[in-house]
Each structure stands twice: as structure tokens, then as C-alpha cells.
Chain A
Amino acid sequence: MSRALVVRQAGPGLSVQDLGRPGYLDQGVSVGGAADRLALAEGAALLGQPGNLAAIEMAGIGGIFEAEGGSLRIALTGAPMQASIAGEPVAWNASHMLHRGQKLSIGGARTGSYGYLHVGGGIAARPVLGSRSVHLTAGLGEALAAGDRLPVGKDSGRTETGMTLDVADRFQGGTVRVVPSVQTARFAPEDLARFEATQFRRDMRGNRMGVRMTFDGPPFAAQDQLSILSEIIVPGDIQATGDGTPFVLLYECQTTGGYPRIATVLPSELNVIAQARPGDPVRFRFVTREKALAVHRAAEAHLAGLPGAIRPLIRDPRDIPDLLSYQLIGGVTAGDGEDPQ
């Protein structure tokens, strides 16, 4: 029997995701793909495999999974969740062996919104338009459900597991850097200043398409905003919606929209927005194009360096029952520091 990962129990927000399907904007399909691109890359590094393989994205809560037809190397990244293999707790941000017939149980996120389960060889679901990413907004694919049997690709031949890597805490909001978008100049200078000074909170309303930001203060509105023609919108764009509330677009957004856009989040910091939970604090700060490019370049270098950043888990996690909480204490930051990355 070919190897597969069987979903025994599924949280409500489980879907197969990779880097999405760029190139179909002209046909009304946004790029989609993993909400936290960095988490996807971290999983690939832990398993020593290419960064474009598909993984399972878990919104808020995981599920129970079983290796069928053979043993599977797995890695867990993104929003830290409680995880155990055959009843024994295992470390997050690490790779493990899931032996044939063993059950992997993944609970709720302790912080952040999206956790990822990667397998050696990647989830080999059938690609649609060149990608395995489920894109619910566009009607491509569907969420995972109990009983689904996911084929697994050929593993690279490496047998290494028990590796870990240090990750930036991006799971409780923080300050994200922005640059101008199409209608930024239509907002009054004092409103742009207020936009930077305002402490926003991630609203209850939010999903893979985008998240709404709540705040105290008058609405944000552009001049002549009712006359704006529907125009192409992109992930990271911050729309000032009808009631003047910022709405940050994520990868599964629509392809066109008519709300004015006050700014655009830098691509490498969009994961902070995606990972914020309802109530988490978020601030926006304009930076020059020069600074934004430097941030972008550093983020690309960080991604490129991930494969070299993995190291063995120092101790066998099974000997440390409180490992998860131990790691979390080490990873907590104020959440609104100057540089989230």
C-alpha cells in the first residue's frame, strides 16, 4: 500500500496548502496558499525538502492523524499547538517520526492562529492549476474532514527526524511595517498619522481572505471614496471598508475591490497579521521604500538560511513532559516591539 496520512478527526479549519497559484489574477483567482509562508518554509527546512511542497494548515485547532502504509517523517510549525504521538507529548517547531499505525494528535493553538503539519515528501493531493492549495474563496478544493486519506509524496530519502529550529515569535500581534498603496494619497495627512498612532486589535471577524481591525476613534475614510472604480487588490493591502474600519487582505482575498486602500503590509510581515488572534494588538508603521526593501531582502535571506539553521532537539522531548510550556516561556515577547521579525 502506498503511504498516506489519514485524517481520523478534523478541526473545522484544516486544509491542504502550499505556496499557492500565482499567475491567475487575470482570470480572477488570487494567489491563495499558506497563511503563514514562513511556517511553510520552516517545515520544509526541518524535513530537508523543497519549500513548495504541500502541508496541512490548521486554523486554531488540529485533529488526529494516522500514518498508513508506512512510517512518515513529520514536522510541526506555525502557531504552537499541543501535540502528541501515541499519547506522548512531542515538541513544536520540530520534526518527528510517525510510525505506521501511530496516531498524531494535535490540539488547540496556545498562541497564534495557524499551525502546520508537514510530511516528508509533502502531501501529494492532485494539483489544480499548478497548486495543491485549497482556495475556498475561488471554489477550488475543500476543507479536510475525518476519513480523508491524503497521499504522501516520495520522501527525499533522508531519515533524519528530531530536529528543531528557533523561530521568531509572530503569534500575538505586534507592529507591522507598511508602504503606500493606490489610494494612500487620498487620505488626509492627519488620518495617516492617526493610522500609525492607533492601537488596533484583531477583530473576531477574519479568515484566510483577510482580517478586520477594531479600534477606538473616528472611521478612516478617503476623499471621494464612493467614486473609486473596482480595481485589482493584493494580499497585504489594507482596505478602509464602508464603516471606516481597516481590513487587511490575506492571500485568499478576492481579486478586485472598490474600497480605498490606506497602505500595504510588507510581504514578509503579513504572517504577523494572519497569526494574530482576536484581541491581539496590532500597529502599523509606514517605512520608506528603501527601508522596506532592506526588510524584504533580509527576510529572503532568512528564508534561504533556514535549512542551515536546524539543529537536533537537545534532549529527547519524551523525557521532558513540560517541554511545550518551557519553550513558550522562552519565546514570549512584548508583542508590540519595534521589529517583529
Chain B
Amino acid sequence: MDRPADSFPVIRDVGLTGILVTFSDTLTEAANRAALAFRAAVEAEGWPGVEETATSLTSVFLRFDPLTLEHDVFTGRLQGLIADRDWPAVPLPEGRSLWRIPVTLGGSYGPQFEEAAQAAGLSPEDAEASIAAARIRVLTIGFAPGQPYMGQLGPEWDIPRLTELTPRVPQGALIAAIRQLIIFQRPAPTGWRHIGQTAFRCYRPGTPEPFPLTPGDEVTFRLIGPEEYEAILDSDGTGDGGATREVLP
């Protein structure tokens, strides 16, 4: 059940077989970090009856078998684990990657880039520099297989979603809203602004690593021109789209 905001983290039921541990009702870097760390800790506990764990922006979702793991026993353990550590201060899980992904901004490959820059109160040059300098985190993955919600950008990028949907942006599109960026997994409509294009593929069916990104991974962008984007698109057989990857300590 909902409780006052000052009592976060809060444990709530999601039907008979789900529990949600929420660290904040607004997106903050600390709450996202806490959720990533807490999920890793639950996984490490290996409690029998916990069937699946996943993170959203500020929560950890736990699916469990209520016939194997009694609800009250489970919530008791979760409360114990919550009290055990100062979760926003816990280091992020190990094994994360730092990605550097080529992107071409503006022009025909990012038709709403200038409009997005304007909404952020930035000149196109400053907006480019801002994206080039950003080091953001895969906050969560959702909506489509492997599709990352990355953030947070600076507060100036707190630009609203559009009221009218763009009927279709292409696979690999970089779109922006509410201090976050998404690389589209496949062509889809969106209310976010289409600011650029990558050749990065978020879901690679039939490969040993179908989902290259993991929540908690970090991402930077290398700005490229449309010609280089086209060259990468033509030559890339991996789905990386020219991205480099380094394992974070």
C-alpha cells in the first residue's frame, strides 16, 4: 500500500505473485542507483521462491511463487535487507560496461534536434556539445526488447514530451525528453523528439548476446556526420554500430 513519501523505500504488493520495492516516487540518480544495487543484492541472496527480478527507474520488481515463499516471510526478509545498508550509497553492481556509441545529430537523421535544443534553451552548437560531453546511465530497459532509457541529462534537458505523436521514427533513432535519451529498438511512433541516428541495435536475435545493454551500463556518444553514419550502417555486421565497449571496474 502507498505510504507517505518520507518512508521510502516502500514495499508494495503487485497482485498475488509480485512485490515492488520503491526507493523514490520521482526519478533521481540516487534512487536509480539504489534500485540497481538492491536488485543485485536480492539476486545474491538466492532466496528459494524468487522467480524473477527486474528494475524500473526507481524500483525493484520481484516475482515470487507464493506457495514456495510465504508473502510475510518474503517481505520480512526484504525489510531486513533494506535496513541492512544505506542503498543509495552502495556501489553499483559489478560487470557493467561503458559504451561509446557513434551518433549523427540533426539534419535529416535528427529532424527534431534544433527544436529540442531550443526547448532546452541551448544553441544547436551548445546542444551538440552537451550530448557529446554527457556520460549517462542505462536507467532501465523496457517498452521494446532491449530498449534503453538513458539519463539523466542536465536539468536544461527537462523538455516535455510532445502532445502529438511522431508516427514513426526508425530503428536506431536517438530520441529525447524529460532529461532522458532512448535508442529505438525498432521503428515505432513516439512522443519524444527525434534528435539523431545511431546504427546501434538494442536487440540482436539469434546472437550469443541478444541484449547488449544491461541496466546500470554507462553510455557516452561520439558525434559523427551523416556520411560516417551511412558508412557504419553499410559495413557493420555486429549491431554495435561502431560502438566501443569497455568493462567498468
Contacts and interface: CB of A to CB of B under 8 A. Distances in A.
Contact of B2 (A23, A24, A185, A234): A185
Interface stretch (B13-21, B102-110, B122-130): B13-21
Interface residues of A, number: 44
B18 A234 contact: yes
Interface stretch (B56-64, B77-85, B92-100, B223-231): B56-64
A234 B19 CA distance: 11
Contact of A180 (B1, B26, B53, B54): B1
Interface stretch (A167-175, A189-197, A288-296, A309-317): A288-296
Contact of B26 (A25, A183, A229, A264): A229
Contact of A293 (B63, B67, B142): B67
A254 B142 contact: yes
B147 A28 contact: yes
Interface string A28-51: 110000000000000000000000
Contact of A26 (B15, B20, B54): B54
B17 A267 contact: yes
A230 interface: yes
Contact of A256 (B2, B14, B22, B143): B143
Contact of A231 (B59, B143, B145, B215): B59
Given A139-B144, A183-B2, A296 B57 contact: no
Nearest to B55: A26
Given A25-B61, A26-B55, A28-B142, A139 B14 contact: no
B141 A129 contact: no
Interface residues of B, number: 43
Given A230-B56, A231-B59, A22 B20 contact: no
Contacts of B206: 128
Contacts of A267: 15-17
Nearest to B26: A229
A121 B54 CA distance: 34
Which among A179, A230, A292 has the highest number of chain B CB atoms within 10 Å? Answer: A230
A237 B15 contact: yes
Interface in A106-144: 128-129, 138-140
Nearest to B146: A27
B203 to A, nearest CB: 8
Interface of B: 1-2, 12-18, 20, 22, 25-27, 51-59, 61, 63, 66-67, 71, 140-147, 185-186, 205-206, 210-211, 215
28 contacts: A24-B145, A25-B52, A26-B53, A26-B141, A27-B211, A28-B145, A28-B185, A138-B144, A139-B145, A140-B205, A180-B1, A181-B13, A182-B12, A183-B2, A228-B25, A231-B59, A232-B14, A234-B14, A234-B61, A237-B14, A237-B15, A255-B54, A264-B15, A264-B16, A265-B15, A266-B15, A267-B17, A293-B16
